[in-house]
Amino acid sequence: MEFQNIETHEKDGIFYITINREDKLNALNIQTLSEIKTAVLAIYENPSIYGVILTGKGTKAFAAGADIAEFAGFNNVQGTQMSADGHAVLKTIENSPKPVIAAIYGFALGGGCELAMACHMRVAGEKAKFGQPEVNLGIIPGYAGTQRLPQLIGKGRALEYLLTGDIMDAQTALQFGLVNHVVATEEVMHTCESILNKIKLKAPLAVASVIRCVNDSYEKKADGAQTEIHEFGNFFGSEDFIEGTAAFQEKRKANFKGK
């Protein structure tokens, strides 16, 4: 795949997506979001990929927000479409059957914070900054920031940051549950890889199923508990279940095939 605004490569089963607009602090224009969606969709059914790391070029910014110059002149129809398209991109990430981890250096603001929240996990460098400062522009978050931030840090805290536009440092983000880990800048990528290398040893079908069940618990049109019951039952008789239980009883490591 060839892209203009992102770089991609695969190494040892991990698919790396890097937003390559360092001179713009990796601001998310419409094309960049479209390219991210295309890249993520391409790994859905790729058996050689077991995880994704999404990051931004350089250490100044994961993504410092949407590209304001691009949408400053939009009318309400164009703005509505922009938001709907952004929601679709981030849903593609959230619904990926392969875990996606955001490796966050520097600023993750506005659309960048929303992009990070759509990932299944977040690892931040110690200098990372988070926020939804859209109210300072006379607008609100448009890529589900008003939805995912309360899920991650709670309604009261989320409202405070959404309404004030305040910026959150990395340690506060860790304390509030916005990120999974805060590490030294040079350890961010290694930490992401270590998490995915643990997941690599697990049954791929079970990993994808866990993601579906958890996502459904937040979907208004779905019943997460019923999804779990259905998914749980489907595993009986699967090759991975037979292998996993046999390996446990034989006190050896399981060799999962994703079947």
Cite the active site residues.
114, 134
CA distances 210 to 29, 41, 95, 132, 138, Å, are 32, 19, 11, 29, 38
* Consecutive H or E run containing 96: none
Q: E-strand spans in the chain?
A: 6-11, 14-19, 51-56, 61-63, 100-104, 107-109, 121-125, 129-131, 168-169, 181-183
Structure tokens at 231: 């998914």
Q: Is 104:179 a contact under the CB 8 Å cutoff?
A: yes
Q: Which residue has the tokens 């034989």?
A: 250
Give the span between the Cα atoms of 139 and 159, in whole angstroms. 15
